Structure 1
Amino acid sequence: MAMTDVGEAAITALATAMAEAMFAHAGELTDLDQAIGDGDHGLNMKRGFEAVMAELPAIAAKPLPEALKAAGMQLVMKVGGASGPLYGTLFMTLGKEIGPAPDRQELAAALAAAIAAVKARGKSDTGQKTMLDVLAPVQAALAAGASIGEIRAVAGEAADATVPMRATKGRASFLGERSIGHMDPGARSSQLLVEAVCGVLGGGR
């Protein structure tokens, strides 16, 4: 799964796929967040990726590392709540850690560093019903040599696995036991972004 030529067309395709996933599922993400959060996750993610799309020609013209940093900055500036800083940190750290034509090993290492940065920013870890509960298994699958289709499946299974969890971080943690039985909206948005990337890279459905 070497991304040997991550040029303007590939960056445009990846950003567009992620944005379209957020636009298509904004209502679902809002519904999930209304159950256990502030109720604004879908709107916030939609707003953030609208900002990325508005700047896409300039972003896509940059080398991959700079494009990721630029997209991350848009998310930090435009996405409200906790999600903006966390997703912004994810993308900006990927940009710092990755080269312009990463192979699987480099991609896995960059994602591991980005996940560590998200943990530090959110003072959170896996098992607390957050986006990390999707990102960490996806990184492990990537590092282990999983196929694109397998990575997509891991993301879906990981998001589903947040349903029986009790939230111990974020606004959902205030609900205690009542947070059980709901999928974490951040985990779902992470799943959708992973699936979008997998689709562009050839995972199909």
Structure 2
Amino acid sequence: MFSSIVASALLLSSTVLGAPLERRSPPGIPTTATAKSYLAALTVAAAGSQDGYSRDLFPTWITISGTCNTRETVLKRDGTDVVVNAACAATSGTWVSPYDGATWTAASDLDIDHLVPLSNAWKSGASAWTTAQRQTFANDLTNPQLLAVTDNVNESKSDSGPEDWKPPLSSYWCTYAKMWVKVKTVYDLTITSAEKTALTSMLDTC
């Protein structure tokens, strides 16, 4: 599965960087019905140990195409009228943060959020992965795992799961939950009982 994800990610990234951008949300968001099926099939288990966790075990950001790394690719994908310089840094554009609805015109006001936080992934199965597999997860452009969001909102989320943190914009809860269960399904990650309860509630807002 990981090799196919890498191949798809590279194909998507070349398309993103080489064509006019219309999409303002991550790829691969399932329908509500599919998301509920995914959630029902996920393995419920207690969170694993945080022992041994380090962000360095999830290498990011990697080069995607030319001089563009993962962060820059997501900024261009998620923004409108994004202009980049020779180093692929965004010099202008407009971004609407899906978590809070705030609009920004400076890339420095945005973080690229890992929807399923790296430490959450570690405690739900990624501790057993290879570094190459964790790199794929941390730079995934194929699934709805990376989003350009307001930096301080991302900081407030930190490594929390949906049982402890939800987007301030409640109208986004449905999409957030659908993306969360998709990512956990693709990577065969477990969920806690509290996490499942929160996701069920959020999917009920769809």
Same fold (TM over 0.5): no
Between Structure 1 and Structure 2, the one with more strand by share is 2
Normalising by structure 2, we get a TM-score of 0.31
Of structures 1 and 2, the one scoring higher in RCO (CA 8 A, sep 6+) is: 2
TM-score normalised by structure 1 residue count: 0.31
